[in-house]
Homo-oligomer: A and B are copies of this chain.
Amino acid sequence: MRKVTTLGLLGTGVIGGGWAARALHFGIDVIAADVKPEMEEWIRGAVANAEPALSRLTSAPLPPKGKLSFTTDLREMAQRADFIQENIPEQLPLKQRMLAEVSRHAAADVIIASSTSGLTPTDLQRDMVAPERFCVAHPFNPVYLLPLVELVGGEKTAQSTIDASAKFFKYIGMHPLHVRREVPGHLTDRLQEALWREILHLVNDGVATTGELDESIIYGPGLRWAAMGTNLIYHLAGGESGMRHMLAQFGPCLKWPWTKLEAPELTDALIDRMVEGTQAQAAGRSIRELERLRDDYLVAIQQVLRQYNIGAGSTLRALEERLHQDATRTQAAQPATGGKPLRLMDTVVRSEWVDYNRHMSDFRYGQVFGDAIDAIFRQAGVDETYRASGRMYYTVENHIRHLGEAKAGESLYVTAQVLAVDDKRLHVFQSMHRGRDDKQIATAEQMYLHVDSAAAKATTVDPQVRAKFDAILSAQAGLPKPPEAGRAVGRAQQ
């Protein structure tokens, strides 16, 4: 098959727009064909809308973006494209007619693929010229972000068509999944549809609202499904003997009315297939090992959702708010710190903080020092409420020295010494230590400026906050100035 430098689109709805955005982003030219000329503006808008998210998918170097052109002439598109993707409405006779027509204008080595959700390729390729170069390539919304594309061949499809399509879709960042047997809905939509129809029953029967049903997924199984499917997850739930134990334990539930969908008979042959399948997925990894992987991504995804204050992330935010309040209350009840650096953070190196050296990445030291400073700020009264007044501290400089490493799972703590404070500036020295041996692994010397963020200029700190920092400064007056403070990069200390 030919090298794809131009993707032709037949039909330009949400799916067509998604294909265009993805292909252009990875350097493929796109020619979109639609009978309605007003769709040109529409597809350009769709591409522009996709760009902000798509541009953040990877920071790897990209080739120059592809060029988008539009035509109302199907023949022009078919003659200029190296690969054609059809995205017209889900009506079999319409698709058959249009696919046949496009196949008459496109060279025989141009693959023609259909985005159909549920129609089968044997039906679709029926009237085509050179039907062996046809397959279903079913993507998921948003096409420009989700990697999945189901590839399904019909009776007349050549294996080389599937292989070449898979190669092209990988080139534009996707995960081609070869569906080996034609069934209505392919694989993904069959599973989604079963869940969807059960939802409709539950709403219809007045059991729950759409919102409650969505919650029932996103705070639980949905988090797991981001990286492990039901089969592997159930394999893990079966303990050391995995799927076989799970089926023995929960097999009887298949007779229970837990859904309106009747299960197949759990024959020995079916059990064997399920067990062999999940063994292959485990690929020699123990249950313990897979559990660790599952736990790692579950923790990490919740951190991401916390940033967006959505789903499980909003639960985590609410929890942390309460924990901070409780901690502030506990601290207030304790006597003031004596002449020691403040101990600010006790944390653990997360697996996703570790780089190719298997040590914590440089910038994560900055993150931990930043969290530690937030803890000082909170103690001094610079919190959400204070910031809501438009005043806050901005970091002006941060000089980090790296003295040792930390591995995933190791505990860390940070101590801090206030070096100087005035009405606008705060000068702090922090020291990071490994919990297991108290070894100092980094220092940070930082200068903060108190600003009015609307005016974007320095402003005087609230006297109460200043008083808190002064109190820390005088409590620490007896501490020696750290020898590392006041040095430039590469200057040996005294």
Docked-complex contact A59 and B347, CB < 8 angstroms: yes
Name the one of B181, B256, B490 contacting A208, with C-beta atoms under 8 angstroms: B181
Name the one of B171, B261, B323, B395 contacting A260, with C-beta atoms under 8 angstroms: B261
Docked-complex contact B316 and A173, CB < 8 angstroms: yes
Copy tally for this chain in the complex stands at: 2
Taking CB atoms, residues of chain B closer than 8 Å to A446 are: 489
Stretch at the interface among A30-38, A157-165, A292-300: A292-300
Q: Does A211 contact B (CB under 8 A)?
A: yes
Which residues of chain A in 268-327 are interfacial with respect to chain B, using CB atoms and an 8 Å cutoff? 270, 273-274, 277-278, 280-281, 288, 291-305, 307-308, 310-313, 315-316, 318-320, 322-324, 326-327
Q: Does A464 contact B (CB under 8 A)?
A: no
Q: Which residue of B lies closest to A201 (CB)?
A: B264
- 14 pairs of residues in contact across A and B, judged by CB atoms under 8 Å: A60-B324, A118-B258, A147-B219, A148-B216, A180-B207, A188-B221, A190-B258, A191-B259, A192-B221, A196-B234, A204-B273, A301-B304, A357-B392, A397-B399
Docked-complex contact A225 and B226, CB < 8 angstroms: yes
Docked-complex contact A187 and B175, CB < 8 angstroms: no
**Cα separation A41 to B196 with both chains bound (whole Å):** 43
0/1 string, A184-197, CB within 8 A of B gives 1: 11111111111111
**Cα separation A227 to B219 with both chains bound (whole Å):** 8
Stretch at the interface among A96-104, A106-114, A362-370, A473-481: A362-370
Docked-complex contact A56 and B348, CB < 8 angstroms: yes
Q: Does A384 contact B (CB under 8 A)?
A: yes
Q: Does A335 contact B (CB under 8 A)?
A: no
Docked-complex contact B254 and A231, CB < 8 angstroms: no
Known contacts A299-B56, A351-B308; is-contact A211 B231 (Cβ 8 Å): yes
Q: Does A332 contact B (CB under 8 A)?
A: no
Taking CB atoms, residues of chain B closer than 8 Å to A258 are: 118, 184-185, 189-190, 193
Stretch at the interface among A67-75, A79-87, A122-130, A137-145: A137-145
Docked-complex contact B209 and A229, CB < 8 angstroms: no
A357 to chain B, nearest CB (A): 6
Q: Which A-B residue pairs are the 10 nearest by beta carbons?
A: A214-B229, A210-B277, A148-B220, A222-B225, A185-B258, A363-B366, A53-B295, A148-B219, A61-B327, A261-B261
**Cα separation A486 to B291 with both chains bound (whole Å):** 48
Docked-complex contact A227 and B310, CB < 8 angstroms: yes
Name the one of B207, B226, B234, B491 contacting A301, with C-beta atoms under 8 angstroms: B226
Q: Does A230 contact B (CB under 8 A)?
A: yes
Docked-complex contact B259 and A118, CB < 8 angstroms: no
